[in-house]
Amino acid sequence: MNTTTVCFRALICVAVLAFSTAVGAKELKLGLIVPGDHAWSQAAKEMGEELEQRTDGRYSVTLFPAGQLGSEAQMLQQMQTGALDMSFMTVAQVVNRVPEFGALFAPYLVDNEKQADQLLRGPAAQGLLEKLPVKTGTVGLGYGVAGMRMMLNAFPSDNVGALDGRKIRITPFPPVQDFYRLLGAVSTPMPLTDVYDALANGQVDGVDADLELVWKLRLYERAKTLLLSGHMMFPVVGLVSGRTWAGMSEPDREVLRELTRKHLGELAAYYMAFGEKTRADIESEGVNVVEAGPDYFGDKLDQWEEIWTKKAPVLSELRKEADAL
């Protein structure tokens, strides 16, 4: 073989290798229902960038925010078939498939987002993730948080009786439906994007939300009482399709798990810092802030606890862990 032939063959080898690297590279599609400027989307974007670096380009992440791929229920189905690789999804949606997760929405389980994050890293919450492969065909990589839940109401809300008969927009899933039923309210499910108009035209009288949503969706323009209750945490879970997971090597799985946990785990600090300022911003728009703790809700909380201790026995373990925080 002469020198020209050797060089030519070497060139072909390099070209084949380069081509096979590109072919082997995997783009992970990640869906979210929140808009692109929401903190969960930012966490997903940063996770994807770091994943690409850490795997030398073998994996990248393409985001589909704002429900571009459908509702969370639809995305869960897509992950089951392998049509979608990943999602940062509300745990609310997961409760519809695995009711045990409802225990995470126990009223006043934690005081703030930092405690929520600590509890979600504990054995009871982590144990719940193990139920996901069988029940949903997905693997739960880790949790993050949104802001603690509040209510923004278009009516004076100085006592719990004020909620009786009021139409409140909720994210529809059983723990929250039970909560508002016990309060005598009429829970009204609707996409977040419709809430502004619904408050304006009286279709709803209030909304169960966090400060980020009240601020970014400008809901404070349509309802002037912020019930600063912080009554529940609102976690997000990083899910990967079981089929995608099966195609990954063990070291790549570990990197994906580590980075998902890292970036979702940073959300608590963001919401802790963001909360004070947003509350002040909302107040400066002429919104009346009513501070409310567990006493505001009276015996309704015990009634909720009784129902959910039966539906989700893990609640007792979560309460013990929360008490120790």
Q: Which residues bind ligand BEZ (CB under 6 A)?
A: 33-34, 90, 146, 171, 192, 209, 213, 234
Q: In which element (H, E) is residue 88 found? A: strand 86-90
Structure tokens given for 40 = 């969960």
Q: Least distance to ligand BEZ from the beta carbon of 208, Å?
A: 7
Q: Provide the pairing of β-strand 225-228 with 206-209.
A: unpaired
Provide φ and ψ at 109, rounded to 5°: -70, -40
Q: Which of 48/67 has CB closer to ligand BEZ?
A: 67
Q: Which of 98/237 has CB closer to ligand BEZ?
A: 237
Provide φ and ψ at 180, rounded to 5°: -75, -30
Q: Which of 146/292 has CB closer to ligand BEZ?
A: 146
Structure tokens given for 90 = 């509300």
> Helix, strand, coil proportions of the chain in percent (round to 5)?
55, 15, 30
Measured at CB, which residue is nearest to ligand BEZ?
A: 171
For residue 240, how far is the Cα from the chain centroid? 14
Q: Least distance to ligand BEZ from the beta carbon of 31, Å?
A: 13
How is residue 50 annotated by DSSP?
H
Angle ∠(116,41,93) on CA atoms, nearest 5 = 60
Q: Least distance to ligand BEZ from the beta carbon of 32, Å?
A: 8
- 109 close to 319: Cβ distance less than 8 angstroms: yes
Q: Least distance to ligand BEZ from the beta carbon of 147, Å?
A: 8
Q: Least distance to ligand BEZ from the beta carbon of 221, Å?
A: 18
Tokens 């009021």 belong to which residue? Answer: 166
Q: Which of 67/137 has CB closer to ligand BEZ?
A: 67
Q: Which of 90/136 has CB closer to ligand BEZ?
A: 90
Q: Which of 100/208 has CB closer to ligand BEZ?
A: 208
Q: Least distance to ligand BEZ from the beta carbon of 171, Å?
A: 4
